[in-house]
């Protein structure tokens, strides 16, 4: 059964940094593109960043040059380093496949506030 456990969120001031982690299980992690998503209050879930099996990456425009996605196949874990955080980055962050499974983790809350 596919399972995701996200962690690392918290309260941070604008301009601050956080590193999110997502431990995945139940599938062959190294053979899948992995994606971080986020959902802000009252908004649809949106794609934030993707890392492919060849370690190539893609980012939504609003986080380019601020966020970095990475993966550790030995640990079945995907990371999201978030720098220069803005108020509009406040959301619950989730990981899943680039073509997401129906099973989602609980997410990790990121709140950017002064």
Q: What's the pLDDT score for residue 69?
A: 98
DSSP class of residue 29?
Answer: G
Mean pLDDT value across residues 27-32: 96
DSSP class of residue 41?
Answer: T
Q: What's the pLDDT score for residue 111?
A: 98
- Tokens encoding 52: 């492919």
Q: Mean pLDDT of all residues in the chain? A: 97
C-alpha to C-alpha distance for 81 and 67, rounded to whole angstroms: 5
State CA 64 to chain mean position distance.
14
| Percentage of the residues of the chain whose pLDDT score is greater than 70 | 100
Mean pLDDT value across residues 15-26: 98
Q: What's the pLDDT score for residue 18?
A: 98
Mean pLDDT value across residues 66-86: 98
C-alpha to C-alpha distance for 50 and 60, rounded to whole angstroms: 9
Q: What's the pLDDT score for residue 90?
A: 98
């Amino acid at each position: 059964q596919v399972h995701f456990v996200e962690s690392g969120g918290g309260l941070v001031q604008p301009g601050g940094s956080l590193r999110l982690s997502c431990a995945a299980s139940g599938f062959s992690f190294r053979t899948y593109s992995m994606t971080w998503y986020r959902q802000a209050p009252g908004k649809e879930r949106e794609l934030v960043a993707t890392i492919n099996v060849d370690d190539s990456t893609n980012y939504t425009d609003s986080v380019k040059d601020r966020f970095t996605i990475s993966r550790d196949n030995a640990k079945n874990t995907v990371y999201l380093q978030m720098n220069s955080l803005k108020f509009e980055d406040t959301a619950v962050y989730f990981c899943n496949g680039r073509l997401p499974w129906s099973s989602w983790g609980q997410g990790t809350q990121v709140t950017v506030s002064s």
